[in-house]
Amino acid sequence: MTRPGLPKLIATDLDGTLVRSDETVSAYTHEVLDRVRAAGIPVVGATGRGPRLAELTRNDIRAADFLVMAGGGRVVDQSDPAGPVVLRDERLSAEVLATLLADLETTVGPLTVMVEASDEHDAPLWGDYHASWPYQDAFETRSRAECLSCDVIKAFVRTADHHVDELLEVARQIVPPEVATLTQAGLDFVEICPPGVDKSTGLTVVAQRLGVDPAEVLVFGDMPNDLPMFEWAGWARVAVSNAHPTVRALADEVTLRNDDDGVAVYLDRLLSR
């Protein structure tokens, strides 16, 4: 339930929520987020994007004081005048991932697998080519052995025979949460993150640094990887109208679509009331 007054922290997902379908963020949205910061409310970009996309992410949410990236695995404080400070950096063990993939394939059949192994600027994902992956220019075909040659930031898997929500449900029955965190972010791949890593645990790092209670946090999102922060935040949980049904069901309110600047419209009204 939305509270009176203003929240003490605002966090928003990016792709599908703040960022429009043409991969841009409107000048109006940037202006409203600047007004949020001017009102003394810290802004957090909470995204599944890995640290290799930090520059793109900073451009999409220029007002952000903090970035929660890789679904919660990398947390960066951008407010330090000396430069960005990494507050959290989690990896998934290659050995654990190898066992997990073998267990999944025993049940669901062959998997298309990609891994995010590097945090260097614009580093490609490695793995199995699949035509449905939307970012082919940032992809490099590698063998399974190469993909499992080092610890990873996260992995992405899909099968030919399962809808992503179905695969996620099956995978959660096979993989305990203490082994890995499983989710999906609208890319038709199940995402495999280190255990204990999700947007809520990433935002907890930020909230503790600022001395903010989760009950004072407003969040925006659109996909199942946003559900942990919806369950965690207490001031209000707002879904864009193009959100996944599970996100809409948990939301306190629904704003306009991402393509109609729904986050900015909501915040503009909040600041003006």
What DSSP letter does each residue of 227-259 carry, written as one string?
HHHHHH--SEEEEETTS-HHHHHH-SEEE--GG
Burial (0-12, 13-18, 19+ Cβ within 10 Å), 82: exposed
Q: What is the pLDDT of residue 190?
A: 96
Residue 110 identity: P
Model pTM score? 0.95
Task: Give the span between the Cα atoms of 164 and 172, in whole angstroms.
Answer: 12
pLDDT reported for residue 8: 97
Among the listed residues 160, 197, 195, 165, the one whose alpha carbon sits nearest the alpha carbon of residue 177: 195
Each residue's pLDDT expressed in tens, for the chain with a length of 273 residues: 457 789 999 999 999 999 999 999 999 999 999 999 999 999 999 999 999 999 999 999 999 999 999 999 999 999 888 889 999 999 999 999 999 999 999 999 999 999 999 999 989 999 998 888 878 778 999 999 999 999 999 999 999 989 999 999 999 999 999 999 999 998 999 999 999 999 999 999 999 999 999 999 999 999 999 999 999 999 999 999 999 999 999 999 999 999 999 999 999 999 998
pLDDT of residue 195: 97
Query: What's the confidence (pLDDT) of residue 90?
Result: 97
Q: How far apart are the first and last CA of the chain?
A: 17
Which pLDDT score is estimated for 2?
Answer: 52
